Amino acid sequence: MPASLRILKPHGLVFVDYEGIATLQDTMQVFGEYLSHPDFHPGQKHLVDMSKVDDWEGTYVDLMSSQAHKASAFVGQGAQTLIVYYVPTEIARTIGQLVVNSWEPFPSVVPILVDTEETALSTLGIDFTTFAELLASCERKT
């Protein structure tokens, strides 16, 4: 599957990684896994790595519909959700901007686009400069 999810409990972070062609079906499947994960809780920070995305399949209307469904897990929980999208390529930035625009009606979700791993991690308050360092630190703790 071109989308995967890991909850990095030591950092209170949800890490989503996309590869290849991103689809809304994959997004919703991963989101369903997140909602049923024992470490799920409202207000978790999210890091979405879109650096390996080649393209995406879907329409803006479908994207808005899926965001509304996802927002239902965030809205009304009394917490804001910070989502940092790592978008270092042109296609990733294009898709990322569509996603950020689709979150506009939902003030409880704060989406941010960044183009370096170091900026993504710094924005999330994580003291590493690469995703590899972050992931390795979690593997050592388990």
Which CATH number goes with the domain that contains 20? 3.30.750.24
Residues of the chain with pLDDT > 90, as a percent, come to 60
* Host domain of residue 97: 3-141
State the amino acid at position 63 in one-letter form: L
Amino acid present at 121: L
pLDDT of residue 1: 53
Per cent of the chain over pLDDT 70 is 95
Res 141 pLDDT > 70: no
Q: Which of 40-44, 55-59, 133-137, 138-142 has the lowest mean pLDDT?
A: 138-142
CA atoms within 13 A on the CB side of 11: 25
Mean pLDDT of the chain: 89
Confidence at residue 76, expressed as pLDDT on a 0 to 100 scale: 59
Instruction: Specify the pTM.
Output: 0.92
Give the total number of structural domains in the chain.
1
Listed residue (1, 9, 106, 17) closest to 53, CA to CA? 17
- Dmax (CA) of the chain: 42
pLDDT for residue 62: 79
Binning pLDDT at 50, 70 and 90, where does residue 63 land? confident
- Mean pLDDT lowest among 29-33, 73-77, 97-101, 110-114: 73-77
- Cα-based distances in Å from 31 to 21, 70, 114, 141: 17, 7, 22, 25
- pLDDT greater than 90 at residue 67: no
Name the pLDDT band for 43 (thresholds 50, 70, 90). confident
